[in-house]
């Protein structure tokens, strides 16, 4: 019986090898004690552990891609870069990072907003991030939460993103196929993993095109959308209370 990294490794950048092994061992012990025979125990162990392992490997893959594309973020101020690093894989959201490292979090948010750190609030940072203005290509948007009318503007191209990753041949071909347009509005599945892919793809588009990039996502994932804004992965977000279409 293989456990931990021997059975299902995850990229080292999330530092979870020991965690995987310990959780596997605990789950195997419980399965053996509760099952009537070993085949049943092993089947129960597989059912218990596979979803959690796949989730962690998904996080680890996003972290790996972030590090492999790290040079693209060298222009960010150090505190904002740290904010991007801590929220890179969706394991830590913006509010939690600011709560755990308030001084660093406030400096990162100040870099994002172009203000002094003393002007960053102590609470409700998610809504505060969405309320910051943005000037892009001579046009000022009063909030980083996009007006819904922008989605239907003649100068906006709505793109349904259906990718497993924002990097790799499929993503490269997808990016190359996009038209030159004033605004790229990225929508897709309401699944959180799909939203994180859209945010990673938006980061590429912000670097490689002159378009205003908007990422659409469900209200339940507003923390991820705010983290994407504060870390420079997208220009604007669209927060929906319904499934994106």
pLDDT of residue 243: 54
Q: Which residues face 105 on adjacent strands?
A: none
pLDDT averaged per 10 residues, the chain (length 245): 79 78 91 92 91 86 90 94 92 89 95 94 93 95 95 96 94 95 96 95 96 96 95 96 59
pLDDT of residue 191: 92
Backbone angles phi, psi at 214, to 5 degrees: -120, 130
Distance CA 144, CA 53 (A): 35
Contacts for 195 with CB less than 8 Å, ≥ 6 apart: 188, 189, 215, 217, 218, 221, 224, 225
The pTM of the whole model exceeds 0.75: yes
Distance CA 130, CA 239 (A): 10
Beta-sheet strands, E only, within the chain: 134-136, 139-141, 156-161, 183-188, 212-218, 236-240
Backbone angles phi, psi at 218, to 5 degrees: -75, 155
pLDDT of residue 20: 84
């Amino acid at each position: 019986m293989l456990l931990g990294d021997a059975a299902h490794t995850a990229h080292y950048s999330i530092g979870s090898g020991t965690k995987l092994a310990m959780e596997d061992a605990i789950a195997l012990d419980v399965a053996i004690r509760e099952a009537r025979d070993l085949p049943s125990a092993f089947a129960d162990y597989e059912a218990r552990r596979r979803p959690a392992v796949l989730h962690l490997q998904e996080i680890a893959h996003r972290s790996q891609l972030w590090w492999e594309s790290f040079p693209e973020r060298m222009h960010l101020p150090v505190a904002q870069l740290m904010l991007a690093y801590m929220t890179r894989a969706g394991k830590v959201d913006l509010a939690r990072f600011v709560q755990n490292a308030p001084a660093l979090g406030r400096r990162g948010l100040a870099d994002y907003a172009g203000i002094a750190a003393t002007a960053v609030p102590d609470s409700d940072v998610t809504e505060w991030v969405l309320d910051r203005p943005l000037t892009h290509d001579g046009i000022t948007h009063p909030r980083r939460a996009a007006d819904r009318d922008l989605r239907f503007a003649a100068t906006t191209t709505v793109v349904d993103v259906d990718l497993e990753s924002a990097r790799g041949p499929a993503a490269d071909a997808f990016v190359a196929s996009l038209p030159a347009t004033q605004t790229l509005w990225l929508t897709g599945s309401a699944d959180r993993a799909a939203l994180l892919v859209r945010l990673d793809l938006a980061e590429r588009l912000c670097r490689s095109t002159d378009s205003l990039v908007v990422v659409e996502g469900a209200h339940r994932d507003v923390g991820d959308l705010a983290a994407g804004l504060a870390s420079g992965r997208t220009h604007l977000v669209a927060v929906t209370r319904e499934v994106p279409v």
